[in-house]
Structure 1
């Protein structure tokens, strides 16, 4: 059995835990086996990261020299983009076109943080005495970066680029469902000329490798993207250790359509907002709120458009919705749909596996719309993370805001209206880290991203995205 090794201190290691089986969710075929890290392997990785971060060749490297290495990583990602895109598609079933877009975005993240690395400045505080007080920003040392399976290309790039630009060394632990994109990033770091140990990649399970990583005494900052339940476990461990965290967690984003909206544009955004990535997105617009006066008409158009979506293989040009990330995850989605039926919900479209014989070996599930449930229903409250849209009517702004804010989540929100004043009022009232007005899922590495409430702590991307990986230090110079 051939096992793909992982990366510690510039060396490739197969690990001491049971190897991971990588399955193509679109076909059910075996991609291969990947080495799995034990707690001892994780300790080895953190030790190497700490030693590398403290080497003068790294910690004394001038910012523009660090930026040069980051720019080179971006170039290599572009050069290897087709390979990386196909690899992500084979591991999580995402449409090839979307994978290609994400490869370009990953390169963009490294370019962006390279630019910040070259240009960020320290601060001089206003003097209140005979001294000069300055604020400088220092790296934490070793950062643990833990990423999910839905978008490894972009999420791993955003974390690693920012943390390294800030001067840290990183131990990257990818999802066991998508382990090899992180390994390719490690290979790119070596080829770009980074010192060994600045980026280490440990593949393995969350309960073994992930837990050992967040508990390690030399890990001084933790960055995690994933489910809220796991985020709570990490936060508890980090709290006991007094280690800062950045947690980007789940969402149940309200997508709101007022009667005065451009309904054609809203229709496109609503369907894209939930069914792109097969609904496996933390910012998926999974709760559709329609103003009652247009509820029947607009819902009918959404159902019609959804029924016309083409479910198919991720590498087929005509496909609009591909497979889910795994067979286990499809079963989870199916359980949620079954719970909606038990609570009195009505399935307007979808709600089952596709009938096409050519798709029966993959983890496919039809785009699904559920109506007839109150906001308190399970599927309206919990993150399904699949191609399932819950539709609810609303009467006026007060009713809308109460329903939209009536979950534990607060990651994203979309608002469609031609009234600027209304959009501003509602946008400010919604408890959400990001609000889109007359657009949806517009994302930029240059703007901060994160959630309210159970959707997370801290912000990534933008200038915040580098400061979250640094500590402020104040230095006083006496002038008396």
Structure 2
């Protein structure tokens, strides 16, 4: 397909072959190998970090005024938008997502750069109230080199959410895309490099370093020149990164896992709720940290609602992401499909009822791909593993609740606290629940809607810190206080 990269990765502003192990990138729709790349190794991470430190300190970048950095971000946004179709096709081939979703993700990345440019142009430092004969100011300065470690489920959007504020803050970035899905991140790297060359800025401000977390990710996180880490991925890896950051005494933002509750009250608009519940968990084939994978339905409507939900889920169209009729594409990799299937088998062992799905689809279209049918399970206690652990696939677990106290107790009985959906016509009940549920994002009568202007983060094991919003730039900077004496008299000296 057009747009497939050569066996080159971006190291310190230069495209070259990785010195690490060979990695096949596989189309999960049919199992074919798209291309083979060589990963970076630890020495190349070191080379990239040193080049990044030099680029960050280069006066051409270090002294660039904020509105000039904003112009660079606007240019990147325009280039990403122009390449949206190519980026979409590349990401669909690499991840299996539908073309509609990957195009939306590419345009979201462009919007992230554009919004961040606007936020940068209007960012203000503060003159703080003086408490003596001096002027006091609070200013923000770049950290220098930052590491960005991203997952495989939405690479281009996740990349933009870290790269844009990091560049806006005046930094250089070492980006590690997931080993399974590096292609669109490398394409984004070429776009950003083009914008840097056009602006006559150091190209080593961005490196794109594919490879395993154990080699490349660890080398980035532990490198002494890396002064901040942004990570999106699993909670176990997030804990390890937090530990490494603590040892270095550098900040880290961690956007981790979820097992998000979706709540349907008896007074909900059931048509809206049915569509919203399905979209919340089965879009992206369930491969979303905010997937509404725990469904809580008021007991008085539970049987009726679940029967209608199962009937509709059976009709969802499963197929390759290139088919415009597809609603649920393949999972990202055959190994991940096997992991999802193992959870469903576990649900059966624990006594759960698989109401629909629960297997790979049959037929020539699906034989070689990493497909799994949208699955609804009920009949399990909330203590069952499939009710508590993140499956990251098209699997929904349904549970009834008796009253609000029972609902809040069950919904909050989780190590995670990332997102929540509430379906109700009662605005007072919606407000109460939204404030009582442990979640960084709550959707009311909608789900999986995002805005770059609105901060995003989680509670408990779902993460630390936030991304997006105006404050995202400040997260990639250090704050400094300045005192400017205004008195002609010498300081009093008691000696």
**TM-score normalized by structure 1?**
0.99
| Cα RMSD (Å) | 0.9
Q: Does 1:116 align with 2:128?
A: no
Q: Which residue of 2 aligns with 1:261?
A: 268
Q: Which residue of 2 aligns with 1:473?
A: 480
In 2, the alpha carbon distance for the partners of 1:311 and 1:317 equals: 11
In 1, the alpha carbon distance for the partners of 2:7 and 2:64 equals: 32
Q: Does 1:211 align with 2:181?
A: no
Q: Which residue of 2 aligns with 1:290?
A: 297
In 2, the alpha carbon distance for the partners of 1:17 and 1:190 equals: 23
Q: Which residue of 1 aligns with 2:26?
A: 23
Q: Which residue of 2 aligns with 1:247?
A: 254
**Structure 1 residue 3: Cα displacement:** 5.4
In 2, the alpha carbon distance for the partners of 1:345 and 1:167 equals: 52
Contact kept in structure 1, 2:418 and 2:440, CA below 8 Å = yes
Contact kept in structure 2, 1:292 and 1:393, CA below 8 Å = yes
| SS at 1:357 equivalent | coil
**Structure 1 residue 213: Cα displacement:** 0.8
Q: Does 1:199 align with 2:202?
A: no
Q: Which residue of 2 aligns with 1:373?
A: 380
In 1, the alpha carbon distance for the partners of 2:272 and 2:159 equals: 32
In 2, the alpha carbon distance for the partners of 1:9 and 1:335 equals: 41
**Structure 1 residue 35: Cα displacement:** 2.2
In 2, the alpha carbon distance for the partners of 1:38 and 1:9 equals: 13
In 2, the alpha carbon distance for the partners of 1:425 and 1:412 equals: 16
| SS at 1:78 equivalent | helix
**Structure 1 residue 132: Cα displacement:** 1.2
Q: Which structure 2 residues correspond to residues 373-392 of structure 1 after superposition, within 5 A? A: 373-392=380-399
Structure number with bigger Rg: 2
**TM-score normalized by structure 2?**
0.96
Q: Does 1:444 align with 2:485?
A: no
Q: Which structure 2 residues correspond to residues 359-370 of structure 1 after superposition, within 5 A? A: 359-370=366-377
Q: Does 1:95 align with 2:106?
A: no
Residue of 445, 450, 467 corresponding to 1:460: 467
Q: Does 1:144 align with 2:147?
A: yes
Q: Which residue of 2 aligns with 1:220?
A: 227
Q: Which residue of 1 aligns with 2:192?
A: 189
Residue of 171, 177, 182 corresponding to 1:174: 177
| SS at 2:421 equivalent | strand
Contact kept in structure 2, 1:410 and 1:433, CA below 8 Å = yes
**Structure 1 residue 130: Cα displacement:** 1.3
In 1, the alpha carbon distance for the partners of 2:325 and 2:184 equals: 25
Unaligned runs of 5+ in 1: none
In 2, the alpha carbon distance for the partners of 1:478 and 1:336 equals: 65
Q: Does 1:33 align with 2:36?
A: yes
